[in-house]
């Protein structure tokens, strides 16, 4: 096997005088943080290190490796995260003014891509688990109905896996959309490990979707902000490459690209061994978790109705039977046991596992859960309600072009929203520009304020269109 990008960086730069960017000059002498952050390997596109936007050498070889691993026609490195890939993919797969069918709970970047392209969104609302407070799988009947009602639609955007690990039957959904002439984008940011590691479910690329986006960093051993975009055919790849020139930086980090290259090589060389070890840890945790009496671990062996499949790497801890909210559980795990979860909400908390978890990680979590529940008084949480269906007055791009004013949330009911009001995690908007601010949406926003809520950094205010009652 040829030298990795990391090896090129550590070996081929020795003794060379860097009269080029970046300004630290690969030296840590100016400040100690430069050494810790890897400045010695931080270069720009100098001779011998290829160019991300016109790859011919070692970067092209790495992207060809990604395509072979995932079974794509062509794959692309993403250094602006999955967000940059989704924006580029939506641009490549649509024309201005097209109708796009998308899941309501999709990531904010999908909504932003629709706004930038002037698309007309039509929303799909998957079934909802009131016990866990999470969306379940998207059914083919829901998509069929949307296709009947909107025969003009040109693009379908699916999210699979979902943030909590819910899987949908992508083969059926993609085939249905393609049969009606739609292009298909799958945001599989949370599923980079699927389809390439034995023992895990099939991946999104295998569904035949036109473009699939993966975040390597979410579950695989790669640095934050590293991702991949996969195209199903050469013509789609050409359009995607053009769009990536727009939505990706012209100064890509070689540290990030070396991380992508190293991750793919590791999977190629040791994927089977590392996958087996990961699955063994997950199986042991789920077996031990059956002894828990108050916390429920979402499991594919006994799924709630409406869940087609589950990514086993996600450990969703249901708190309905414990009597304490997920956010309380998350805080106790953090303060009392030094465990930082991915997400903690009203009815559940999410522990994301990854290939890099140590042997002690999941037993430590299981022990903490058992100790917490042993001291809980009797109690049960009320069921959750799904997010309210939105009333769209105009498209997001139309609303974003109009004058707006700030209103206190309690005085915004009935007005038209002028911004994306997004709750993190998972990054799905409660309200989008052009949608009526309903009492139900405001109630959902108030309920989310005890988790991590983002609304342009303002507390208690909403941007609404001026004079649009």
pLDDT in tens, 370-412: 999 999 999 999 998 887 888 999 999 999 999 999 999 889 9
Query: What is the pLDDT at residue 251?
Result: 96
The answer, yes or no, to whether residue 341 has pLDDT greater than 80, is: yes
Q: Would 381 be classed as within a structural domain?
A: no
Do both 166 and 198 map to the same domain? yes
Q: Would 275 be classed as within a structural domain?
A: no
Helices marked H in 401-461 — which ranges? Answer: 439-448
CATH code (residue 86)? 3.40.640.10
Do both 93 and 5 map to the same domain? no
The CA-CA-CA angle for residues 140, 85, 421, to 5°, reads: 75
Query: What is the pLDDT at residue 230?
Result: 98
Helices marked H in 165-233 — which ranges? Answer: 170-179, 216-219
The answer, yes or no, to whether residue 458 has pLDDT greater than 70, is: no
Q: How many domains does the chain have?
A: 4
The answer, yes or no, to whether residue 466 has pLDDT greater than 50, is: yes
Do both 229 and 83 map to the same domain? yes
Do both 37 and 141 map to the same domain? no
Confidence band for 447, pLDDT divided at 50, 70 and 90 = confident
Query: What is the pLDDT at residue 449?
Result: 65
CATH code (residue 452)? 3.90.100.10
Q: Mean of the pLDDT values across residues 110-129?
A: 95
Q: Mean of the pLDDT values across residues 208-237?
A: 98
Do both 159 and 109 map to the same domain? yes
Q: Would 105 be classed as within a structural domain?
A: yes
- Distance (Å, rounded) from C-alpha 409 to C-alpha 360? 45
Query: What is the pLDDT at residue 469?
Result: 64
Query: What is the pLDDT at residue 389?
Result: 86
Q: Identify the burial level of 168 via C-beta atoms within 10 angstroms of its C-beta, where 0-12 means exposed, 13-18 middle and 19 or more buried.
A: buried
Query: What is the pLDDT at residue 452?
Result: 47
Q: Which of 339, 374, 409 is the last residue of a domain?
A: 374
Q: Residue 44's closest CA among 281, 253, 230, 327?
A: 253
Do both 202 and 293 map to the same domain? no
Do both 18 and 73 map to the same domain? no
The answer, yes or no, to whether residue 59 has pLDDT greater than 90, is: yes
Give strand pairing partners of 405.
464
Q: Would 386 be classed as within a structural domain?
A: no
In this structure, is the dihedral angle defined by the CA atoms of residues 40, 44, 46 and 48, taken in order, positive or negative? positive
Q: Would 349 be classed as within a structural domain?
A: yes
Do both 25 and 79 map to the same domain? no
The answer, yes or no, to whether residue 453 has pLDDT greater than 50, is: no
Q: State CA 329 to chain mean position distance.
A: 23
Cβ contact 449:404 at 8 Å: no
Between the alpha carbon of residue 77 and those of residues 98, 192, 219, 287, 460, the distances in Å are 27, 13, 17, 38, 39
Do both 92 and 207 map to the same domain? yes
Query: What is the pLDDT at residue 422?
Result: 83
pLDDT digits (tens, 9 = 90+) for 147-171: 999 999 999 999 999 999 999 999 9
Q: Mean of the pLDDT values across residues 216-243?
A: 98
The answer, yes or no, to whether residue 457 has pLDDT greater than 70, is: no
pLDDT digits (tens, 9 = 90+) for 231-287: 999 999 999 999 999 999 999 999 999 999 999 999 999 999 999 999 999 999 999
Query: What is the pLDDT at residue 430?
Result: 87
Do both 253 and 338 map to the same domain? no
Torsion of CA 194, 195, 199, 200, to 10 degrees: 20
Q: Would 401 be classed as within a structural domain?
A: yes
Chain-wide mean pLDDT for the chain?
94
Q: Would 388 be classed as within a structural domain?
A: no
Do both 231 and 311 map to the same domain? no
Do both 132 and 258 map to the same domain? yes
Between the alpha carbon of residue 430 and those of residues 34, 116, 164, 387, 423, the distances in Å are 40, 19, 17, 8, 7
Q: Which of 340, 374, 408 is the last residue of a domain?
A: 374
CATH code (residue 360)? 3.90.1150.150
Q: Which domain holds residue 254?
A: 55-268
Q: Would 367 be classed as within a structural domain?
A: yes
Give strand pairing partners of 121.
100
392 SS3 class? strand
Confidence band for 467, pLDDT divided at 50, 70 and 90 = confident
Confidence band for 454, pLDDT divided at 50, 70 and 90 = very low
Between the alpha carbon of residue 272 and those of residues 69, 284, 401, the distances in Å are 13, 18, 51
Q: Mean of the pLDDT values across residues 62-83?
A: 98
Cβ contact 193:267 at 8 Å: no
């Amino acid at each position: 096997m040829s030298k990795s990008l990391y090896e090129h960086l550590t070996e081929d730069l020795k003794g060379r005088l860097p009269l080029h960017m970046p300004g630290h000059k690969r030296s840590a002498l100016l400040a100690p943080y430069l050494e810790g952050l890897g400045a010695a390997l931080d270069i720009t596109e100098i001779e011998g290190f290829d160019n991300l936007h016109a790859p011919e050498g070692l970067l092209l070889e790495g992207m060809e490796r990604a395509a072979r691993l995932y079974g794509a026609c062509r794959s692309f490195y993403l250094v602006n995260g999955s967000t940059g890939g989704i924006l580029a993919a939506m641009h490549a797969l649509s024309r201005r003014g097209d109708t796009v069918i998308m899941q309501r709970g999709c990531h904010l970047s999908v909504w932003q891509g629709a706004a930038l392209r002037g698309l007309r969104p039509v929303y799909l609302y998957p079934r909802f688990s009131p016990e866990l407070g999470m969306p379940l799988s998207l059914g083919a009947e829901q998509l069929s109905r949307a296709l009947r009602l909107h025969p003009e639609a040109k693009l379908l955007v699916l999210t699979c896996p979902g943030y909590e690990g819910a899987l949908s039957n992508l083969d059926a959904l993609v085939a249905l959309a393609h049969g009606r002439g739609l292009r298909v984008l799958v945001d599989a940011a949370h599923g980079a490990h699927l389809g390439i590691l034995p023992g895990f479910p099939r991946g999104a690329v295998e569904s035949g979707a036109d473009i699939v986006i993966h975040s390597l960093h979410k579950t695989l051993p790669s640095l934050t902000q590293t991702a991949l975009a996969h195209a199903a055919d050469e013509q789609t790849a050409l359009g995607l490459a053009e769009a990536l020139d727009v939505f990706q930086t012209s100064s890509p980090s070689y540290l990030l690209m070396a991380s992508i290259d190293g991750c793919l090589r590791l999977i190629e060389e040791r994927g089977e061994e590392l996958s087996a070890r990961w699955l063994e840890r997950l199986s042991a945790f789920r077996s031990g978790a059956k002894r828990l009496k108050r916390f429920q671990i979402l499991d594919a062996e006994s799924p709630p109705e409406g869940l087609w499949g589950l990514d086993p790497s996600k450990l969703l801890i249901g708190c309905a039977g414990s009597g304490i909210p997920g956010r309380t559980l998350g805080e106790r795990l953090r303060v009392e046991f030094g465990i930082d979860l991915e997400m903690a909400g009203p009815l559940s908390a999410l522990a994301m596992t990854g290939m890099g978890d140590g042997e002690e990680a999941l037993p430590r979590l299981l022990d903490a859960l058992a100790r917490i529940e042993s001291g809980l008084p009797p109690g049960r949480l009320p069921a959750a309600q799904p997010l309210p269906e939105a009333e769209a007055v105009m498209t997001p791009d139309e609303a974003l072009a109009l004058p707006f004013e700030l209103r206190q949330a309690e005085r915004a009911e009935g007005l038209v929203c002028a911004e994306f009001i997004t709750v993190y995690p998972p990054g799905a908007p409660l309200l989008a520009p052009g949608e009526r601010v309903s009492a139900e949406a405001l109630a959902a926003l108030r309920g989310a304020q005890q988790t991590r809520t983002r609304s342009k950094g303002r507390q208690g205010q909403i941007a609404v269109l001026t004079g649009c009652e």
